[in-house]
Amino acid sequence: MARTEFIALIFLIPIIETYYSRHKLKILAAILMACIFVGANYQYFAEHFPDNRVLELADLSQANSVNLRHHLTDQALRTIQDHPILGDYASYASGEYAHNILSAWVDFGALGFIYAIALLMYPLLRLYVDGFFLKSKSRDFLLACILMSVTVLWMLTSKTFLDMSIAAGLGAYANYKYRKKNVENCPPYLSAPEA
């Protein structure tokens, strides 16, 4: 499994646990304690798993892919500096591109970047504000929340604006909003076909 997906899993566990918990503050405190424990004992983990690619992320100077992505981000920032308004579509060298949301700015300029940010953040913020703390739980909500949260994480750290997680997250969000509005007209999950 790629490190990106592993980090997403670690990122999502607190979200899911907090969502289903009746005592959200206790869960958040337990998660914080676990993070402190892992951080305080990092050296132990590094000694017992010396060739682990995931542990490379704790020392970014040793991670080749992280160093390459940093270099590509620097290139993207130079392109943005040279072409801030309209961008410079397809200006990357073959196979090189910023592995973050800056790729939208490089290709589509400032307006494209603002649009990409709005496209991601509006649904995510609406999900957290409208449904995260409701007593009634919804699988549609949780799927949309998970996909949008991971998509934003990936856009900040490792994926381009072309990643299919954006479409999956927005589709899950649209499905959640539709089902919430038209709940009486929606068929139940995995229902038997009507005779």
pLDDT by position in tens, the chain (length 195): 477 777 788 888 888 888 888 887 888 888 888 888 877 877 776 666 656 655 555 554 555 666 677 777 888 888 888 888 888 887 777 667 777 888 888 888 899 899 999 999 999 999 988 877 777 788 889 999 999 999 998 888 877 787 888 999 999 999 999 888 887 566 655 455 555
Continuous H helices in 23-101: 24-40, 42-48, 64-82
Continuous H helices in 41-138: 42-48, 64-82, 102-131
pLDDT recorded at residue 147: 93
**Whether the Cβ atoms of residue 149 and residue 23 lie closer than 8 Å to each other:** no
CA distances from 103 to 1, 8, 78, 117, 130 (A): 24, 20, 12, 12, 30
Closest CA to 4 of 42, 45, 56, 74: 56
Q: Is the pTM of this model over 0.75?
A: no
pLDDT recorded at residue 1: 46
